[in-house]
Amino acid sequence: MKKLSKIIKLGATFFLLFGFAQTANAQFLKKLGKRAEKAAERAVERRVDKETTEKTDQVLDSILEPGSKGSGQGGNPIPQTTETNTPDSNSSDGNSGGNPSTAPATEKSLTVYSKFDFVPGDKPLFFDDFANDFIGDFPSKWNTNAGGEIVTLGESSQKWLELKSGYNIYYVPDVSKLPEEYTIEFDIAAVGLDRKTSSTAQLRVSVSDDDKFKDGINYAYAEIPFCQYAAIGVTVQNRINGKSEIRSTVKADLRDEVLNMPHVSIAANKQRFRLWINEVKYLDVPRLLPAGAVLHTVKFHMNNFKDGKERIFITNLKVAEGGVDLRRKLISEGKISTNAILFESGSANLKPQSMGVIRQISQVLQQEASMKLKIVGHTDADGNDASNMELSKKRADAVKNALVSVYNVSSGRLITEGKGETEPMGDNSTVDGKAQNRRVEFIKQ
């Protein structure tokens, strides 16, 4: 009888545990189903972006030169901190070598970016891809009150600055005064994020009137979230004359984006502050910045990441003065030159961020129905003369193809020319000079 009682109790326990396991399993499968459904939606979106129609594919083939597309951060490449090569001069938009694997894993068509309205500043103030820094060193153009070092990720030769968590400040002293209108761009990579990453794990990007390591009397910042278990949103805050006027968190789900090496774009137009991540605009605050050009420095710091596990890297920081409407200048002067049309290194593959400028050119051509343009490509001095001449012509052709295929400009209104490295505007022995020399001109005919 006691034996039977034990069997009954064991059986009841088994069924209870089995029922609990079934319930837990059902809940797990339900959660997994939701995640699978979301993943399927993303897969469909990627497929639609890549294979919409045969005509779109043919159009994109004429814009994007065939070549290998790199994988994104999803595979969590291991940071390499051992120097294997001497510093090189190949930048992300250079002429040779380069790093196609820094592109996001999902390649979006240029037509998707055709509504992307960010236009980079047209006068470079600062650029750094750490090409001239050694792996393991802190970058020579930066300053910090903490640690940090140059690394590479996985098999890529692209160099990144690894930031350290805590109230550690990183900034570039060479940007000593920001004008009233300017843009800031950079790329982010993240390693070690998971569902335990804190909801307060954020990268802060700020502009401040303090040229050292304090917030300053006047500042404004945006905080980009890296949490993976919930959609946290983008936080924006300011202080004007010592008084905080705005603090708000804008709804946004960036969990996928921060895993796939996003490109961040910021535009400051007097008091207006806008921020894009990839092609999506998340912030547009009309009166966030103090009136007048009182801000001096661009600063970064990361909060509430687990040291040694959750690691954040940035590269390709570009600060440029804006304020010149390329459309008005092209109409009034008949010629413009811009460094804001970017290409993958060593190729004529247009980077999607370039579409803001190309869109402005299309608007001019739409308004000025009789205008014809010559598009002239220029490169820096990396590589040999003949290759650079050919590359500059291909890049001019790529811009023409984008105007024709994406914005329906008649091809008969556009001619192209390549001048390679023959007409430099900057010093080809410096990173900043090379960035100035990689440009596209539009000349009224």
Q: Which residues contact 271 (CB under 8 A, 6 or more apart)?
A: 286, 287, 288, 289, 290, 291
More confident residue, 351 or 377: 377
Rounded CA-CA distance 138/130 in Å is 10
Q: What is the pLDDT of residues 21-43, one digit of tens each?
A: 444 444 433 444 444 444 444 44
- The band of 351, judged by pLDDT with boundaries at 50, 70 and 90, is confident
Tokens found for residue 367: 């308004």
* 326-444 shares the fold of 123-321: no
Domain ranges of the chain: 123-321, 326-444
Fold category of 326-444 in CATH? 60s Ribosomal Protein L30; Chain: A; (3.30.1330)
Tokens found for residue 49: 């972006």
Number of alpha helices (DSSP H) and beta strands (DSSP E) in the chain? 6, 20
Q: What is the pLDDT of residues 373-387, one digit of tens each?
A: 999 999 999 888 999
CATH of 123-321, one of 2.60.120.200, 1.10.3720.10, 3.30.420.610, 3.30.70.20: 2.60.120.200
- For the ranges 37-51, 192-206, 274-288, the lowest mean pLDDT is seen at 37-51
- The band of 325, judged by pLDDT with boundaries at 50, 70 and 90, is low
Size (the chain), residues: 445
pLDDT value for 13: 52
Tokens found for residue 292: 């007048």
Q: What share of the chain is helix, strand, coil (3-state, %, to 5)?
A: 30, 25, 45
Name beta bridge partners: 203. Answer: 224, 302
CB-based burial of residue 195 (10 Å sphere; 0-12 exposed, 13-18 middle, 19+ buried)?
A: exposed
